[in-house]
Amino acid sequence: MSSSVIDFIATEARFGAQNYAPIGVVLSRGEGVWVWDTEGNRYLDCLSAYSAVSQGHCHPKILAAMVEQAHRLTLTSRAFHNDQLALFYEEIAALTGSHKVLPMNSGAEAVETAIKSVRKWGYEVKGVPDGQAEIIVCANNFHGRTLGIVGFSTDPETHGHFGPFAPGFKIIPFGDAAALKEAITPNTVAFLVEPIQGEAGVVIPPAGYFTEVRQLCTANNVMLVLDEIQTGLGRTGKLLAEQHEGIEADVTLLGKALSGGFYPVSAVLSNNDVLGTLRPGQHGSTFGGNPLACAVARAAMRVLVEEGMIENAARQGARFLEGLKDIRANTIREVRGRGLMLAVELHPEAGRARRYCEALQGKGILAKDTHEQTIRIAPPLVITSDQVDWALERLASTLTQDFS
């Protein structure tokens, strides 16, 4: 490593809170599926900023929209109207078939907004006694880092020593419709769940699970809130992961790729009166729905559709998954994936996934380990067949090594 690389890393360590443990690479440029470090080495990005840069790094059309808007108007607050918000609403509603939209910034804020809204809906529409609303969530969930959210995480790293936490959440196993049925009471207002658990290691529920979940929620007047912050906008090969089972959520949460990685933009979408219970002054955000965010998100949604990225995610995801399944290596316990949301789970004896990610870095691939034994693979949705094959060659030669 050159001295400049060591400087960046050492300076981060000296001044920064140590709430991340990054792989030892300092990136300075990105284009499409590729990123470059400060020394000019090129890497295939197989994390895509946790699916936020699904459209590829520095997409020229999103960049142009951002620069154009930044010259005109960036922030008004919602105290006044701006000429981008209505267009953003119209376009996101047309794309997703939603009726109401509430724009926020980070994914966690969208989750918090959904929690507040379904509680309010519960009291004002469903008739739950005040202060009694219950929300059901799943074990091993990941919905963000705010105090409200980490309080119902089952990962000790995530919630340890951050309490006390807000009550009103009930935790059930993921992928178990009978457990949901059991957990619902007259005070249940919502079931908050990821279509595929991303941070838990790309955990895909059994076929038919969401069909049953949808039926249970409808039968009991419980709002189905799907956190599609990671799975949404083409990542799994469909616009929304709910489409794999032909269901529709009552509330859908989007973030990450909603801005193509340029800017934090999230949104709560609802197809009924959940968002309708919010009155002026009851919820908000200084930056939520600002014209720069809206212009960026509009371009990010447009290129996703116009450039066929969703179809490409389905096609290249299938190719990638097949290729991973063809790798014969004793280190591999299981390969999972849907679209370009993929994971390789290693045998416990194979050593930590982190070690394999570091070896992949040496071969020009950036991937991220999750939960010790799993390598997550989620390249931008613009990846080509040749690039998938290029990645598979390097993954095969790395996974047949032994780092135990």
Ligand X SMILES: *Cc1c(COP(=O)(O)O)cnc(C)c1O
The residues of the shown chain that bind ligand X, judged by CB under 6 A, are 50, 106-108, 111, 142-144, 194, 198, 227, 229-230, 255-256
CB of 144 to ligand X, least distance (A): 4
Do residues 277 and 250 touch, judged by C-beta distance below 8 A?
no
In Å, how far from its chain's centre is CA 291? Answer: 23
Nearer to ligand X, 45 or 227 (CB): 227
Q: For ligand X, which is the closer residue by CB, 252 or 331?
A: 252
Smallest distance from the beta carbon of 330 to ligand X, in angstroms?
31
250 is catalytic: no
- Pick the catalytic residue from 227, 238, 320, 369: 227
230/374 with CB nearer ligand X? 230
Helix (H/G/I), strand (E/B), else coil: 336: strand
User: Which one of 88, 142, 191, 210 is the catalytic residue?
Assistant: 142
Q: Is 325 a catalytic residue?
A: no
- The residue (of 143 and 214) whose beta carbon lies closer to ligand X is 143
State the minimum distance, in angstroms, from the CB of residue 145 to ligand X: 6
CB of 229 to ligand X, least distance (A): 4
Q: Where are the alpha helices (DSSP H) in 131-234?
A: 147-150, 156-159, 177-183, 209-219
Nearer to ligand X, 143 or 336 (CB): 143
- Output the CA torsion sign for 51, 53, 55, 56: negative
Listing DSSP states for 93-136 in one string gives: HHHHT-SEEEEESSHHHHHHHHHHHHHHHIIIII-PPTT--EEE
256-290 residues labelled b (16+ CB within 10 A) or e (exposed): bbbbbbbbbbbbbbbbeebbebbeeeebebebbbb
Q: How far is the CB of 192 from ligand X (least distance, A)?
A: 10
Minimum CB–partner distance for residue 41 and ligand X (Å): 27
Residue in this structure with the two tokens 């910034």, named with its chain if needed: 105
Residue 257: which of 229, 236, 238, 285 has the closest Cα? 229
Element (H, E) at 61: helix 60-72
* Backbone dihedral region for residue 256 (phi beyond 0: left; psi -120 to 50: alpha; all else: beta): left
Peptide bond into 164 cis (omega under 30): yes
The tokens describing 17, both together, are 């809170």
227: annotated active-site residue: yes
Which position among 100, 120, 238, 256 bears the catalytic label? 256
Chain centroid offset of residue 73 CA: 28
CB of 393 to ligand X, least distance (A): 29
Say how many C-beta atoms besides its own lie within 10 A of residue 232's C-beta.
28
Pick the closer one to ligand X by CB: 37 or 45.
Answer: 45
Q: Which is nearer to ligand X, 100 or 235 (CB)?
A: 235
Q: How many CB atoms lie within 10 A of CB 389?
A: 12
Please list the active-site residues. 142, 227, 256
